[in-house]
């Protein structure tokens, strides 16, 4: 609130200053002395915060470094003071007015760029309805919640902490976490995340994480880090800025002497030196990188892609290899029944019922796939025995049935296995009567993402703990040429080290077993629906398990880098042009100020293009 009031006060002072300038300029009958006072007041009111900021930062940095470290504002303040000494009061006032206007615009652009990011800060849960021993709830601060607490979540409530549903049924809008606007259905056992919004039903939930360890809190920490972490170019510009400003200040006496030696008067040489001071000021250069970086981060945050800093976004354009974990990254993350082959066609209907009945109480992933694929129908009350090494065993109408993972010796089994499928065999009295093939199918967006990377000359690599046949079948389907299969988690990080020797390497995964490799990669990318450990160590989080977001991030990174280079080149060219014009032709302070601040305006507007929807175009 104080910061907003401070900005409003500065804006009000600026408007008063502008009115005083216009009054002194366009009222010809105004006495000269009053006009001068108006110009001086205008300069002081419009530039009060810039004067304060310029001297404060210069003194602070100089004391810390034990060396003269001038702030960029010092150049404009010196130019204004120099103009006053020339009795060019109108020029001094106009210089500060235009400089302050550009400064306001830069602050606005930066605030707009941060908006989508900082918007998250405002929606952090504050209150929760905790259920006591008497089963009555009372409103408490979220900070007081502990693991194991039961909470009542009424329609429209914000979920206070990560946990799961104990009872009730509702839908929850998880857009703050995943970016997906479609509400998710929640019932007993369903996970809940802090800062998401409950729909029309009531839920009772159990807190499973401390507030500071919730997924939303981790997102906030990433956001806070991102706003402080600059791109390498922005960091270099920040470091170069004091040296550049100091060099310009030290060159002023030399410039004055040069003009004196060309035959100009002391007055004219002094004026030319002031014009050089304005023309050489690096305001546009200083604004080349940061607004572009913040705009790119903000656009990606809105799309559900969070970076721990702009440096990782910039580094994404240098990546030569992207290593993919298979399960849950390139695939949907769960097996599906793809083939059901009956070797005994006459009893197909019976075998369907036998399979469904044997798997009805099983709790392994393949059982879930069978229950989803086979339509509801008659279920037999079978006594099913699960024997290690033999599979599921049951008897029905004098026949013995066995459901187990098939051996690869049989030709039709080997054919299915070569397609990356897990094959299950149903035997009746020792004779195979049906084959069931399961596969974790490719993610719908995986194919297009891999194609994009190959077009960009980035090599996709698969790194998985799965067997060679399964990994190769998926790699062939997606167009991935390099595959590492049957790898333990400890081996994954060593492979990343080897790949990094060949060039910058990114890793994308979602599990605990991926965490060491994510940490070792130049850029670690975690899927948002993955484990907390993977998200914690990653540099980037895709809040949805959607590889099209990876493509968006890479395109945005390329656009950001291109715009930063455009800004830097334009800024340098403008400085060279204005300085050269001052030496070879007649120039004046007003022209230099307008051209200089106009270039700053163009640089900022160019950076804000990154906020425009559907404008990320990479040639």
Which residues are catalytic, by number?
Answer: 325
The residues near 409 (Cβ < 8 Å, ≥ 6 apart) are none
156: left (phi over 0), alpha (psi -120 to 50) or beta: left
Give Cα separations from 440 to 45, 101, 331, 437, 478 (angstroms).
67, 58, 6, 11, 13
3 state SS of 387: strand
- Token digits of residue 140: 């408490």
CB atoms within 10 A of CB 172: 24
Q: Residue 511 CA to chain centroid, in angstroms?
A: 20
Contacts of 577-583 with C-beta under 8 Å, sequence gap 24+, read 578/278, 578/279, 578/280, 579/276, 579/279, 579/280, 581/279, 582/272, 582/275, 582/276, 582/279
Residue by residue, DSSP assigns 68-100 as ----THHHHHHHHHHHHHTT-HHHHHHHHHHHH
The secondary structure of residue 457, as a DSSP letter, is: T
Count other C-beta atoms under 10 Å from residue 455's C-beta: 9
- Residues paired with 129 in a beta bridge: 139, 152
Residue located via tokens 């401070």: 6
Nearest Cα to Cα of residue 343 among 418, 422, 423:
423
DSSP lists the bridge partners of residue 130 as 138, 151
Distance CA 506, CA 500 (A): 9
Structure tokens at 567: 């800004």
At residue 534, φ and ψ (nearest 5 deg) are: -60, -45
Q: From its phi and psi, is residue 597 left (phi > 0), alpha (psi between -120 and 50) or beta?
A: alpha
Alpha helices of 303-435 — where are they, by DSSP H? 310-315, 348-359, 365-373, 411-417
Distance CA(558)–CA(231), nearest Å, equals 13
- Determine the Cα angle at 612 with ends 608 and 614, to 5°: 145
């Amino acid at each position: 609130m104080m910061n907003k009031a401070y900005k409003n006060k500065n804006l009000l002072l600026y408007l008063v200053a502008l009115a005083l300038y216009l009054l002194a300029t366009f009222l010809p009958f105004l006495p000269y002395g009053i006009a001068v006072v108006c110009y001086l007041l205008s300069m002081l009111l419009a530039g009060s915060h810039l004067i304060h900021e310029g001297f404060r930062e210069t003194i602070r940095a100089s004391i810390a470094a034990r060396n003269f470290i001038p702030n960029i504002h010092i150049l404009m303040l010196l130019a204004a003071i120099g103009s006053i000494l020339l009795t060019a009061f109108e020029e001094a006032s106009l210089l500060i007015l235009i400089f302050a206007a550009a400064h306001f615009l830069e602050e606005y652009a930066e605030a707009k760029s941060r908006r989508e990011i900082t918007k998250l800060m405002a929606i952090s849960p504050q209150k929760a309805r905790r259920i006591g021993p008497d089963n009555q709830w009372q409103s408490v601060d979220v900070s007081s919640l502990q693991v194991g607490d039961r909470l009542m979540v009424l329609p429209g409530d914000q979920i206070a902490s990560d946990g799961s549903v104990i009872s009730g049924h509702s839908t929850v809008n998880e857009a703050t976490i995943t970016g997906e606007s479609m509400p998710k259905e929640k019932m007993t056992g369903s996970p809940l995340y802090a800062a998401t919004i409950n729909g029309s039903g009531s839920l009772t939930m159990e807190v499973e994480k401390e507030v500071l360890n919730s997924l939303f809190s981790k997102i906030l920490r990433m956001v806070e880090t991102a706003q402080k972490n600059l791109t390498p170019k922005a960091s270099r510009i920040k470091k170069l800025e004091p040296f550049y400003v100091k060099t310009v200040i030290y060159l002023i006496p030399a410039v004055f002497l040069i003009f004196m030696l060309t035959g100009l008067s002391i007055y004219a040489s002094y004026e030319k030196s002031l014009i050089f001071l304005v023309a050489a000021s690096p305001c546009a250069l200083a604004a080349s990188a940061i607004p572009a970086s913040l705009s790119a981060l903000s656009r990606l945050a809105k799309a559900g892609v969070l970076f721990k800093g702009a440096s990782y976004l910039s580094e994404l354009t240098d990546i030569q290899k992207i290593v993919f974990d298979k399960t849950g990254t390139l695939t949907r993350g769960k097996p599906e029944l793809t083939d059901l082959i009956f070797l005994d066609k006459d009893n197909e209907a019976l075998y369907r019922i036998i399979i469904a009945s044997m798997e009805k109480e099983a709790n392994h992933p393949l059982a879930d796939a069978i229950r989803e694929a086979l339509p509801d129908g008659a279920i037999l009350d079978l006594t099913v025995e699960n024997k290690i090494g033999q599979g599921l065993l049951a008897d029905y109408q004098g026949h013995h049935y066995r459901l187990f993972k098939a051996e690869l010796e049989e030709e039709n089994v080997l054919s299915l296995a070569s397609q990356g499928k897990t094959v299950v065999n149903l035997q009746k009295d020792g004779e195979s009567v049906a084959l069931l093939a399961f596969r974790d199918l490719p993610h719908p967006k995986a194919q297009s993402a891999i194609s994009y990377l190959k077009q960009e000359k980035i090599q996709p690599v698969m790194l998985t703990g799965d067997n060679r046949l399964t990994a190769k079948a998926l790699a062939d389907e997606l167009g991935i040429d390099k595959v590492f299969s049957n790898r333990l988690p400890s081996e994954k990080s060593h492979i990343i080290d080897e790949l990094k020797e060949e060039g910058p390497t990114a890793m994308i995964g979602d599990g605990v077993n991926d965490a060491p490799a994510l940490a070792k990669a130049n850029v670690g990318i975690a899927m948002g629906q993955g484990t907390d450990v993977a998200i914690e160590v990653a540099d980037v989080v895709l809040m949805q398990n959607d590889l099209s977001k990876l493509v968006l991030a890479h395109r945005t990174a390329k656009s950001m880098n291109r715009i930063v280079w455009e800004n830097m080149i334009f800024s340098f060219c403008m400085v060279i042009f204005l300085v050269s014009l001052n030496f070879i032709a007649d120039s004046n302070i007003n022209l230099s100020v307008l051209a200089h601040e106009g270039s700053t305006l163009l640089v900022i507007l160019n950076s804000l293009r990154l906020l425009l929807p559907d404008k990320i175009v990479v040639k």
